Structure 1
């Protein structure tokens, strides 16, 4: 039996494990930004340096404009990935995110004039890089990963997103407690610490393999063979022989796909076959924004303040909520492939709607406790519990699922474009939510929870009628749904083949050993399969 040390060394040098760890760390980059801005928004020196007040709508603009950068970066770097390769595109994404972070760090360092505009520039540039990461990393990892439990794999990666969120808020909270809310370095230190992510990833990207699929699609067969050798070893017998078979399969698949290319214009044309799945991709990302959790992640302390807590208590509760968020994401691993994407999203919407209604009730009672003769803390505690439950419901039902669906409902020729469109809609929708949230804080106070209750209900209703269940089905079966929907002339899931796609089929659908199932399997195994 190999020792623990041998297992760790084997994992460390295994290209397959390296791809998984790299992808997970890259996803944490986005989570860090969410946690980073939470306390920066309430730092007195930051507000003074930017020349804005604590209730200024410009706070929302600074936060939200990052998402516009993400939308542009997704399209830009997806094109770079197709033309110059996945690794070069990822390198450019990380370098851009690093540059944007540095621009943010130096904003106002030499005085207030121009500080606000420099911060805007930094947010946009960093958004370009992170948006590219969000679009290209899923393409790269899906081309280099094999996992029958697709949902579990993505849920595990998105738990790293929450790790980044916790890391940023924890550092923010620590330096704020140590230096005070009037300290310049209490907001600059959390920004510059973010450099750990892009710098570490840039340092190790050269050791990773380029996608053999990209090499083949660009007529570089010899490089594709070398990449497969890098992954599997020399193309000979045993596992290496599997590498030779993979090359032959990839070559054949590429030749079949050459004549079926799909453009962005095709995907946005109502008469084209890919318009319906594109609509579903846009719908789930838009609905995720309607849950309001982009706002909760960025404005956590302000949310708890609406329950009547002072700033210090609200910040401590936000940290506890984020830690709970991280732990509860483990449940998503278990449920996403056992229950399906659609069921989790529907139940998530129900729980979120109820929780936000309770938050509106108890938020109102807590805010008016004195005039009503009530105990403020007693009224706020049910609100705290509701927000913790809502956070878990979002993480389990709405975090990883919306990113998984576009990878399952498109043919291979449209999957890269789908990833870019998904990030674009995510960026635009979250820009709107994060921009509007501070305005709603100032004008609606606790009634903002009623708005989120209504938007969650709307998200759940549209999901019920329009979203097909893609879990535990082959890619071909998921594409078949859209063909059948076109035949019956309806997008309502219940009207397509007697509602066959309303629930997830059970059994080894993806593991049937068929040639089609094997074709759709990407190349590498997940970390759990790496240790001998």
Structure 2
């Protein structure tokens, strides 16, 4: 579109999308809370599809104002995707058991990486076939995205509404009937009674966004945990690396086309390694995968600083390109997997588990807002840092990962394996003892996953969709 590669506008046109995501999170979390998870998701998908179409027609047969149209499309699509990011995790968590929420969301994010692979492969194939300056090399990948929002819109009515949403909006008969269809009469009635009891306990707890950011309010602590999680995810640096992957391989000494092929290989490895995310997150817990991911990322970025420095000065040092390039590639592939396993899905999962139903949609929206703002800043600054710091950008990310790991260790409670109501107890106890340090609340019980509960004391442990899955199989 006539924008030079080193123009700061490159970072702006990428990052403005995230501002749209922040707006969409607020808009559609409200819609999903007021009218239902399914209507909220329908609105998200329709907006995403519209933004996609606007981007496609930017400059199609005209040039004046084309960049403005592209900016508009980026923002509108961001609004839709921000809504998806806020509605789907809540919807998913309310349809899954305590012991399967993490696996469900991790599988969703593995599907997200499958989409990333498809997008990059289509983009790369068309660029090779048509050339980088051919407008259809970028128009076709953009319009190809329509298959997903349009496809889901076609059969969204077949999806169930959240029984928890029904109960909290006094549609008790709908909730009861839905649970019986999914679980059977006996289990459905038992689940209904548990949900009804929780709803009665939370009935008068109306929570606004102002409340959530008011020190001393009951939801201020979980809100700060949510904010910390998304800020720390941005501090891992991987949001920037996933966007600017080819430039990193070029920094290691490879050509443009080789760098694009290596980036595709990295995404394929990413997809495969994400299997470990859904195998581990409900087995070892949220804190363990977060802290493990931080540890690997810290080491990886220190090594990338070393390899990047050697690559930049390899001519003076007489070092063959592959001598530093191959180790750099391996480390970057490992770092990508560590981020996916530890940080990709987990920070989206925790907010769906630590808020009561009356604040869960708002809490997830806050998560998307902070994610959008943090990634706006990171993706805006990354090309500038690349141009000025070169390989030293990895050193910056090594230290920001230390910050992310340390604050997670000190303040992030383990929310896995517990019911929504049990996770509220952590915040009640923290307020009582006057500290947010996980190790000092209830003698550090929330540093780890709980032991399995005895039979008959599971609470919300039966997956709402298990009966349907069994019947389908």
- Identify the TM-score tier after normalising by the shorter chain: over 0.9
Does the alignment pair 1:491 with 2:436?
yes
- Cα deviations by residue, 1:25-48 (Å, 9 ceiling, x for unpaired): xxxxxxxxxxxxxxxxxxxxxxxx
- Cα deviations by residue, 1:477-530 (Å, 9 ceiling, x for unpaired): 32222222222222122222332322333x314x6422xx42576633388655
Q: 1:508 is matched with which residue? A: 452
Shift of 1:252: 4.2
Does the alignment pair 1:86 with 2:27?
no
Which of 59, 69, 72 is the matching residue for 1:118?
69
Whether contact under 8 Å (2:92, 2:105) holds in the other structure is: no
Whether contact under 8 Å (2:20, 2:77) holds in the other structure is: yes
Counterparts of 1:448 and 1:527, CA distance in 2: 49
Counterparts of 2:186 and 2:438, CA distance in 1: 43
Q: TM-score, normalised by structure 2?
A: 0.95
Q: 1:108 is matched with which residue? A: 59
- Cα deviations by residue, 1:417-468 (Å, 9 ceiling, x for unpaired): 1111111111111111111111111111111111111111111111111112
Shift of 1:531: 4.6
Which of 458, 461, 465 is the matching residue for 1:524?
465
Whether contact under 8 Å (2:99, 2:416) holds in the other structure is: no
Counterparts of 1:387 and 1:328, CA distance in 2: 13
Whether contact under 8 Å (1:74, 1:132) holds in the other structure is: yes
Counterparts of 1:519 and 1:67, CA distance in 2: 35
Q: 1:25 is matched with which residue? A: none
5 Å-filtered alignment, 1:23-422, equals 49=1, 51-146=2-97, 148-225=99-176, 227-228=178-179, 231=182, 239-422=184-367
Shift of 1:222: 4.5
The SS at the match of 1:259 is coil
Aligned CA distance change for structure 1 residues 218 and 175 (closer, same or farther; 3 Å): same
Counterparts of 1:347 and 1:526, CA distance in 2: 35
The SS at the match of 1:52 is coil
Ranges in structure 2 where 5+ consecutive residues have no aligned partner:
none
Whether contact under 8 Å (1:296, 1:303) holds in the other structure is: yes
Whether contact under 8 Å (1:147, 1:526) holds in the other structure is: no
Aligned CA distance change for structure 1 residues 219 and 334 (closer, same or farther; 3 Å): closer
Counterparts of 1:529 and 1:299, CA distance in 2: 43
Counterparts of 1:527 and 1:60, CA distance in 2: 46
Counterparts of 1:527 and 1:230, CA distance in 2: 9
The SS at the match of 2:204 is helix
Counterparts of 2:176 and 2:103, CA distance in 1: 30
The SS at the match of 1:518 is coil
Whether contact under 8 Å (1:70, 1:131) holds in the other structure is: yes
Whether contact under 8 Å (1:146, 1:525) holds in the other structure is: no
Counterparts of 1:123 and 1:526, CA distance in 2: 41
Whether contact under 8 Å (1:145, 1:526) holds in the other structure is: no
Counterparts of 1:219 and 1:210, CA distance in 2: 14
Aligned CA distance change for structure 1 residues 99 and 59 (closer, same or farther; 3 Å): same
Does the alignment pair 1:429 with 2:370?
no
Counterparts of 1:421 and 1:168, CA distance in 2: 28
Counterparts of 1:500 and 1:217, CA distance in 2: 30
Instruction: Report the more deviating stretch, 366-375 or 222-231.
Output: 222-231
Whether contact under 8 Å (2:58, 2:70) holds in the other structure is: yes
Counterparts of 2:191 and 2:3, CA distance in 1: 58
Instruction: Report the more deviating stretch, 409-418 or 324-333.
Output: 409-418
Shift of 1:231: 4.0
RMSD: 2.0
Ranges in structure 1 where 5+ consecutive residues have no aligned partner:
1-48, 233-238
> Would you say how many aligned residue pairs link Structure 1 and Structure 2?
473
